[in-house]
Amino acid sequence: MRWSSINKKINNVPTHIIIIFTLIIWIVPTLGLLLTSIRPLPAINTTGWWTVLSAPRGMKTYEQACASCHGQDGKLLTAADLTNPDIVKKYPRSTQLTALLQKEINGQPHLGMTPLPEAQESADIAAYMKRLSNLDKTPKITLNNYVDAIVGYRGTQTYTEDCKTGKQSLDLKCNLSDLVNPRGMGRAFLNSLIVTLPATFLPILFAAFAGFAFAWLDFKGRFLLFAVLVGLQVVPLQMTLVPISRMYAQLGLNGTFIAVWLFHTGFGLPYAIYLMRNFLGGLPRELFEAAYLDGASHWTAFTRLAIPLALPAIASLGIFQFLWVWNDLLVALVFLGGSKPVMTYQIGNMVTSLGAGWQLLTAAAFLSMLLPMVVFFALQRYFIRGMMAGAVKG
């Protein structure tokens, strides 16, 4: 008995290896984004995110070339104390440092028998000396990127530092109003919410009405109409963009939230109706018969019976539609553009223009993922159920 269970475990080892290997591939890219978003910009540009926990830049090269004379901490030679910022200041870059290393000291080559470091290596050493002498005080981990992304900071330092020295750009006030600066992710977050909430609520409301009619009311052409609606699920969104932009242009609706709400409602409806009808149609008929016999009207049956019983379906649908609208780029790009930027738009803009550095981009991307992730992990069950019911969603 014990042997067979051990045997079974050994047989399972390859399974575990494959699964864990796949999981690592799936997690590592996201982990990279998260770690990059909490690193200061100079570090992002010079080393990969996976070095975040390893020794600081240049430490290894320093130990090989310099530590034998200057000591691990750089204090061993009092005449050339590398922790003294005034000395280190003279050699900010690899060129100055290399020039120094080429000079002889007391008639001997500076480095003795050790060969001269290459340009990149001496740049690394110079960087490490700045760290030793406390000239470079950048922390390894910072939340500044998130602050900068939220307020839409575009300078070369950080928002906090610029505000301290009063050098901030004109659109920043250095008070709470910066949270809704039109260039920042804070405002974009609000815009995304303003777009998403009605664009989730409206299709569900309309679909509940229609689904009830399809499931529990009798009328001519019921089946045909429903089949046509199911077919509309797969009309690609791109098909309708041009005529609707033209219609909106005539009505003056381009660049308004109403434009996006209505568009998402239209496109969310076929799937929402499909799901609602299937769910409502699956409720026991006796319930409705009893209600009607008690003299209930359709409206009462709808509001008091169908809606409360359909709450699980509404939850699935809500999460599905919420994530769909929140993550959408194309509709926001076409109908809102830069006038009321949503999160996906701002990030897309940062990627395609060269205006923003990696530090803002990664922080912004992570901010935009925050709410969907919370919704997803908290309500995963409903989300999956909603998705399964409509594998034909277009």
Partner 1 sequence: MATTTVPKVMKQGKLTPWLYLLPALLVMGVFIVYPMINTISLSFLNADGTASASTTCVRGRPCWGLFENYRYALTAELDLTSFSSTWKSFWSSSYGNNIKWIIIMVTGTVGIGLGFAVLADRVKYEALAKSIIFMPMAISFVGAGVIWKFVYDFGTKQVQIGLLNAIIHNLGGKPVAWLSTPQLNTFALVAVGIWIWTGFCMTILSAALKAVPDEVIEAARVDGANEWHIFWSVMVPIISPTIIVVITTMVINVLKLFDIVYVMTGGNYGTEVIANRMYNEMYKSFNTGRGTAIAVVLVLAIIPFIYMNIRRFLAQEAAR
Rounded Cα distance between 356 and 155, Å, is 9
Q: Which of 107, 236, 252, 308 is close enough to bind partner 1 by CB under 8 A?
A: 236
Q: Is 216 in the site for partner 1 (CB under 8 A)?
A: yes
Residues 266-295 that bind partner 1 (CB under 8 A): 266-267, 269-270, 273, 281, 285, 288-289, 292-293
Helix (H) or strand (E) holding 394: none
Q: Which of 185, 323, 336, 356 is close enough to bind partner 1 by CB under 8 A?
A: 323
Shortest spacing between CB 206 and partner 1, in angstroms: 4
Six token digits for residue 382: 């409903």
Shortest spacing between CB 123 and partner 1, in angstroms: 9
* Binding range to partner 1, per CB under 8 A, among 12-20, 80-88, 151-159, 168-176: 12-20
Q: Is 200 in the site for partner 1 (CB under 8 A)?
A: no
Shortest spacing between CB 184 and partner 1, in angstroms: 17
| Phi, psi for residue 355 in degrees, rounded to 5 | -65, -30
Whose Cβ is closer to partner 1: residue 47's or residue 160's? 47
Per the listing, tokens 């499931």 go with: 215
Q: Which of 6, 193, 235, 251 is close enough to bind partner 1 by CB under 8 A?
A: 235
At how many degrees (to 10) do helices 257-281 and 380-389 cross? 80
Whose Cβ is closer to partner 1: residue 114's or residue 240's? 240
216-225 exposure pattern, b = at least 16 Cβ within 10 A, e = fewer: beeeeeeeee
Q: Which of 71, 92, 298, 315 is close enough to bind partner 1 by CB under 8 A?
A: 298
> What is the contact mask toward partner 1 in residues 158 to 197, using x (rule: CB under 8 A)?
----------------------------------------
Q: Beta strand pairing status for 108-109 and 104-105?
A: antiparallel
Six token digits for residue 64: 């090989």
Task: Decide if 127 contacts 117 (C-beta within 8 A).
Answer: no
Q: Is 110 in the site for partner 1 (CB under 8 A)?
A: no
Whose Cβ is closer to partner 1: residue 163's or residue 213's? 213
Whose Cβ is closer to partner 1: residue 77's or residue 227's? 227
Q: Is 242 in the site for partner 1 (CB under 8 A)?
A: yes
Longest dimension (CA), the chain: 111
Q: Is 239 in the site for partner 1 (CB under 8 A)?
A: yes
| Phi, psi for residue 172 in degrees, rounded to 5 | -105, 140
Question: In angstroms, what CA-CA distances link 224 with 211, 272, 392?
Answer: 14, 17, 18
Shortest spacing between CB 87 and partner 1, in angstroms: 26
Whose Cβ is closer to partner 1: residue 175's or residue 250's? 250
Per the listing, tokens 């039109």 go with: 182
Looking from the CA of 38 toward its CB, the CA atoms found within 13 Å total: 12
Rounded Cα distance between 373 and 364, Å, is 14
Q: Which of 77, 141, 193, 373 is close enough to bind partner 1 by CB under 8 A?
A: 373
Amino acid in the structure at residue 10: I
Task: Decide if 348 contacts 194 (C-beta within 8 A).
Answer: no
Whose Cβ is closer to partner 1: residue 151's or residue 319's? 319
Task: Decide if 39 contacts 141 (C-beta within 8 A).
Answer: yes
Residues 23-52 that bind partner 1 (CB under 8 A): 23, 26-30, 32-33, 36, 44-50
Q: With CB under 8 A as the rule, give the number of residues binding partner 1.
A: 105
Shortest spacing between CB 243 and partner 1, in angstroms: 4
Task: Decide if 111 contacts 105 (C-beta within 8 A).
Answer: no
Q: Is 95 in the site for partner 1 (CB under 8 A)?
A: no
Whose Cβ is closer to partner 1: residue 172's or residue 343's? 343
Q: Is 312 in the site for partner 1 (CB under 8 A)?
A: no
| Phi, psi for residue 191 in degrees, rounded to 5 | -60, -45
Rounded Cα distance between 209 and 214, Å, is 9
Whose Cβ is closer to partner 1: residue 77's or residue 330's? 330
Task: Decide if 46 contacts 57 (C-beta within 8 A).
Answer: yes
Shortest spacing between CB 255 and partner 1, in angstroms: 14
Per the listing, tokens 């009808």 go with: 277
Shortest spacing between CB 208 and partner 1, in angstroms: 9
Q: Which of 234, 251, 258, 311 is close enough to bind partner 1 by CB under 8 A?
A: 234
